[in-house]
Amino acid sequence: MPTYTINGKRIKTDRELSEAEIDEIARDLAPVSGQAAIPTEGQPTAPAAVPTLSASERMFQNALAGAAAVPPMAAAARALQALTTSTSCSLCFKPSKSRCSDIWQTTCY
């Protein structure tokens, strides 16, 4: 049984093929225009699978990620508190020892 390699595919026949028959098989095996031929030999092996985390490992990773977010959030809260807390007069903006809680204040102390 003769074996032919046509367009990268091995073809076994029970008789010798003529050049015209080989060309006809090659046309049948050729990719449709616009499509690339799919190689069938010499493919690389698949990469190693990434192990999945167990439920407890995922919970631990999530806890670490949450804990890492606390310091920046706390710093932002402290900065916002410092910006909104004033120790100056709301009328003349001169420093004062205590902030007046009277919203109808019309004169500076």
Rounded-to-integer distance, Cα 13 and Cα 25, Å: 12
Q: Do the beta carbons of residue 96 and residue 87 sit within 8 Å?
A: yes
Give how many domains the chain has, as a whole number. 1
List pLDDT tens digits, range 51-65: 888 999 989 988 888
4 in a structural domain: yes
51 in a structural domain: no
102 in a structural domain: no
20 in a structural domain: yes
Sites in the chain below the pLDDT cut of 50: 99
87 in a structural domain: no
8 in a structural domain: yes
48 in a structural domain: no
Q: Indicate yes or no: pTM above 0.85.
A: no
7 in a structural domain: yes
Tell me which residue range forms the domain holding 24.
1-32
